[in-house]
Structure 1
């Protein structure tokens, strides 16, 4: 259940960040509200996750998966350039999260 809560926090953060792209510097009401709500939900769910999961693991997964997802969304849906360097960077972020998590397994 805790992993579902963390996954939901990641989804909320990704939605909030995507809405921020459309907020035009917080000059458009609905995308700006979407950003605020997305981040509020993300932080509430992340806080719930931290009740039972170590902060290092939770934050590494939350930030790493969120970063990789936003980069992929930018390339696939928002017309950002998909270079070899960006794709390698996304893979390295994911590998880094995996290494951090595997390093904590006893």
Structure 2
């Protein structure tokens, strides 16, 4: 359970850092949030790996959620475009991450047998 909490923290910190990077374009003080967010995201991601999650699964979920959440929140905060094609891409990302996770679980079960 701890690994999922760390992963959620890594995702949130990465999204906050990325959105703050966009905000720093107009207001340079946001760069402090950018740096702290990215450092915190990588620390949290390293804790996920320390807790035993496979790197392919952790990185896949982290990256995919980061892309999806950043696109949606940037649309809300900055009026960035969010087209149906982008939405389809987000659905494909989610499906891909789910397949990687399902494959990892299946592989882990075979090793235990």
Q: TM-score scaled by structure 2?
A: 0.87
Aligned length: 104
Moved more, 6-15 or 68-77: 68-77
Runs of 5+ consecutive residues of structure 2 not aligned to the other structure: 107-113
**For the Cα contact (< 8 Å) 2:71–2:82, is it kept in 1?**
no
CA shift for structure 1 position 24: 1.1
CA shift for structure 1 position 82: 2.1
**For the Cα contact (< 8 Å) 2:13–2:37, is it kept in 1?**
yes
Quick check: 1:66 aligned with 2:43? Answer: no
Larger fraction in helix: 2
Runs of 5+ consecutive residues of structure 1 not aligned to the other structure: none
| Aligned match of 1:100 | 100
CA shift for structure 1 position 83: 1.1
| Aligned match of 2:88 | 88
In structure 2, how many angstroms separate the alpha carbons of the residues matched to 1:46 and 1:82? 28
SS for the counterpart of 1:80 is coil
CA shift for structure 1 position 7: 0.3
